[in-house]
Amino acid sequence: MSEPSVVHVADYDPSWPRHAAAAIDALRAAAPGLFVEIEHIGSTAVPGLAAKPVIDLMAAVHDLRHTAPHQAALADLGFHPHNNGMTDRLLYVRADDGVRSHILHVVTLASWSTRNQRIFRDYLRTHPEDATRYTQLKRAIAAAGTGPGEYARAKTALVQELTDRARTQLGLPSVPVWEKR
C-alpha cells in the first residue's frame, strides 16, 4: 500500500456514504455477530465537508479479543491490521489498487457512546460554521504540502476545541483527541 507524500483534501463526494454503507454491509456479512454497532465516521461522513478521500468506519465489539477469530474474513475484504500507536482499539486499513481507501476502528461497546470521533462527526453535522472552519484549516494544511504524519497533528488544536464544545453539550468531560502514543 502506498502512502502519499502529501495530503490531498477533496471536495465532498456524495458517493462517500454509499461506499461506507457497502463496506459496513460487507463487514457484517463477513463477520456475523461480531460487530454490535458500526458507523461511518470522519470527514467523509459529514455532508458537504471536504476530506481526504478515505472512508473511516468505527465498529463496536463486546471485547477486542473477539475480533481475532475474524482476522481472515476481514483480510478477505481487504482490511488488514495496522498499528499506529493507538492502544484502546484495533485498527484495520484497506487499500484499493494500492491506495488507502478505508480505515476501520474497532473499539469496545463500553466506550462507544463517548468516542470522540463519533461526537465530533455529529457536532460538525449540526454546526456548519465550525465545519467550514475545519474545511478551511484542512485545505490550508494540505496546501502547505504537509505530509500524512503531520496532517493530523496540525489539525489537533481545532479538533480539540470543537470536540470539547461538543462533549460539554453532552455533559461529558474533555479528553484528549490526540490518541497516538
For 23-36, what is each residue's pLDDT tens digit?
A: 999 999 999 999 99
Mean pLDDT of the chain: 93
Per-residue pLDDT band at 4 (split at 50, 70, 90): low
Counting beta carbons within 10 angstroms of the beta carbon of residue 18, is it exposed (0 to 12), middle (13 to 18) or buried (19 or more)? exposed
How confident is the model at residue 181, as a pLDDT? 54
Q: Let me know: does 128 contact 175? Beta carbons within 8 Å.
A: no
How confident is the model at residue 74, as a pLDDT? 98
Look-up of cell digits 473511516 = 56
Per-residue pLDDT band at 3 (split at 50, 70, 90): low
